[in-house]
Amino acid sequence: MNTQIEKAKEGIITAEMHIVAKNEKVEVEWLRNEIALGRIVIPKNKNHDFPVIAIGNGLRTKVNANMGTSEKHCHFDEELEKMKVAIHYGADAIMDLSTGGDLHIILQRIIQESSVMVGTVPIYGVATRLLAEGKEIKELDPEDLFREIEIQAKMGVDFMTLHCGVTKVSLSFLENDSRVCGIVSRGGALLKRWMKENGKENPLYEQYDRILDICKQYDVTISLGDGLRPGAGADATDRAQVAELLVLGELVDRARDKGVQVMVEGPGHMPLDQIEANMKLMKRLCGEAPFYVLGPLVTDSAPGYDHIVGAIGGTVAAIHGADFLCYVTPAEHLCLPDVKDVKEGVIASRIAAHSADLVNNVGGARDRDLTISKARYDLDWESMFQNSIDPEMARKRKMESESSEEDHCTMCGNLCAVKNDKSM
């Protein structure tokens, strides 16, 4: 089976491309060309049936929601509820990051029940099972890692985070520089430890062609993980981050040449004034590949409110080139998010994505804002609710107020500026 990028290069417009073009309100031939160039991806495994969504240049900014069990908190029904809540409030993708329970059964259920694309980080499962057997990370067998990638591809995973850019060379820049927070990526830290304790190169980099062969067979989109991303504002745009990015640019080219769709993951913590430059640098070095960012989180000083911190950074990032925002919840840095955290994280990221889409004039964002603005002037509360990012909350606040049955709100009452302006 040819992949979406291979078909696009051959001039073939697939059924998936037609669906995306219609939903995004873009010309299908333009879309095909962008996919051929690798600037847009359609993450859809041939074994996963769901309404397709594309990520990349000129399209609506997408949002991902992470979930999954942990060693300390393993309640699968709760994770399924989180998934449903995330999708209900606008998540375009789900990543299963489970590290507790029967990981393959959990992933299979999520793939079966998800109506959006599903992503994973395969090294989590391998490392979890290894530690459960009482073994150490240095005993990880690379063959188990490649086997896990293939198992997940067969199961129907649409995109996989693979930390292929953590190499001996990129790690050398980390070791010859000072960092406040070191490595905060779980995958990056696991690979660094394995490499150092075994004195070997990262197998995901060294045997990258094996990954490409597996992903091509199932049309899995590779999400090149940022294993050396900054975990503190003070570490942003340092040598290690940029060194890894250079490697990822090379791997983007190799994936495209092989007919595999690919996107690149970006920084976590970063001061506001560095975001624009980072987005442009990434796009330049990685051939305009779709960019997937966590946050960025623009301050380290707001635990409990990091969904707001991430939304601020996400808006700026998406204005300047980020295509895919990984949500941040209020639980970030503190604990496993609960259902309420998931809802708040998705909504915060949706607000960030929409705010950027307004600036970039994509996805009908301006039409939506114009509609709700006109509804406000018309005191058309129902239209306001329907066009809100969270209609349930908007309706709830109005209906629970003392002015629930009136055309004005309790803020202004009969001093309502709109009513007085319209009466003249």
Residue 49 placed within a domain: no
- The pLDDT assigned to 404 comes to 83
Which region, left, alpha or beta, applies to residue 413 given φ > 0 means left and ψ of -120 to 50 means alpha? left
Shortest CA distance to 270 belongs to which of 301, 313, 302? 313
Token digits of residue 355: 């705010």
Burial class (CB in 10 A: 0-12, 13-18, 19+), 203: buried
Q: Are residues 198 and 214 in the same domain?
A: yes
In this prediction, residue 416 carries a pLDDT of 86
- 314 and 402 in one domain? no
Burial class of residue 301 (count of CB atoms within 10 Å of its CB; 0-12, 13-18, 19+): exposed
**Sequence-ordered list of residues with C-beta below 8 angstroms from that of 239, at least 6 positions apart, any chain:** 173, 174, 176, 177
In a domain, 211, yes or no: yes
To 10 degrees, the CA torsion angle through 105, 110, 112, 118? -120
Q: How far is it, in rounded angstroms, from Cα 370 to Cα 374?
A: 6
* 259 occurs within a structural domain: yes
Burial group, residue 255, by CB count within 10 angstroms (0-12, 13-18, 19+): buried
Please report, in range form, the residues annotated as the binding site for substrate.
Answer: 66, 95, 124, 163, 185-187, 226-229, 265, 292
Domain boundary among 340, 360, 380: 360
Same domain? 101 vs 122: yes
What letter would DSSP give residue 56?
E
pLDDT at 424: 67
Same domain, 107 and 207: yes
Does residue 139 sit within a domain? Answer: yes
Tokens of 137: 């990370």
d(CA 55, CA 262): 10
Given a contact cutoff of 8 angstroms between Cβ atoms, the answer to whether 207 and 198 are in contact is: no
Give percent of the chain above pLDDT 90.
90
pLDDT at 264: 98
Is residue 389 domain-resident?
yes
C-alpha closest to that of 266 among 297, 294, 285: 294
CA dist., res. 75 & res. 267, Å (int): 30
What is the secondary structure of 142-198 as a DSSP string?
HHHHHHHHHHHHHHT--EEEE-TT--HHHHHHHHTS--SS----HHHHHHHHHHHHH
Residues annotated in a binding site for [4Fe-4S] cluster: 409, 412, 416
Q: What is the pLDDT of residue 407?
A: 83
36: Cα separation from own chain's centroid: 22
Please tell me what DSSP assigns to residue 282: H
Of the three residues 317, 340, 360, the one that is the final residue of a domain is: 360
Residues 318, 382, single domain; the answer is no
CA–CA dist 164, 264 (Å, integer): 11
**Are both 107 and 148 inside the same structural domain?**
yes
Range of the domain at 383: 365-422
Q: E strand or H helix at 293, and its extent?
A: strand 291-294
The helix (run of H) or strand (run of E) holding residue 399 is helix 391-399
Binding site for Zn(2+): residue ranges? 269, 333
| Mean pLDDT for the chain overall | 96
Per-residue pLDDT for the chain (424 aa), expressed as one digit of tens each?
Answer: 699 999 999 999 999 999 999 999 999 999 999 999 999 999 999 999 999 999 999 999 999 999 999 888 888 899 999 999 999 999 999 999 999 999 999 999 999 999 999 999 999 999 999 999 999 999 999 999 999 999 999 999 999 999 999 999 999 999 988 999 999 999 999 999 999 999 999 999 999 999 999 999 999 999 999 999 999 999 999 999 999 999 999 999 999 999 999 999 999 999 999 999 999 999 999 999 999 999 999 999 999 999 999 999 999 999 999 999 999 999 999 999 999 999 999 999 999 999 999 999 998 999 999 999 999 999 999 999 999 999 999 999 989 998 888 888 888 888 888 888 887 6
Q: 239-258 vs 208-218: helix axis angle to the nearest 10?
A: 50
| 302 and 374 fall within a common domain | no
Structure tokens at 26: 């873009």
Q: Same domain, yes or no, for 192 and 106?
A: yes
Based on the fold, state whether residues 184 and 279 are members of the same structural domain. yes
Residues 336 and 418 both lie in one domain: no
pLDDT at residue number 419:
83
Which of these three, 360, 380, 410, is where a domain ends?
A: 360
Q: Are 317 and 176 within one domain?
A: yes
- Residue 2 falls inside a structural domain: no
Q: Binding site, residues? A: 66, 95, 124, 163, 185-187, 226-229, 265, 269, 292, 333, 409, 412, 416
Question: For position 194, which CATH number holds?
Answer: 3.20.20.540
Cβ pair 286, 223 in contact under 8 A: no
Angstrom distance (rounded) from CA 407 to CA 104? 53
Domain membership of residue 297 (yes or no) is yes
**What pLDDT shows up at residue 261?**
98
Domain contains 19: no
Do 308 and 343 belong together in one domain?
A: yes
Q: Write the DSSP string, 243-263.
A: HHHHHHHHHHHHHHHHT--EE
Per the structure, the count of domains in the chain is: 2
Residue 405's contacts (CB-CB under 8 Å, 6 or more residues apart) are: none
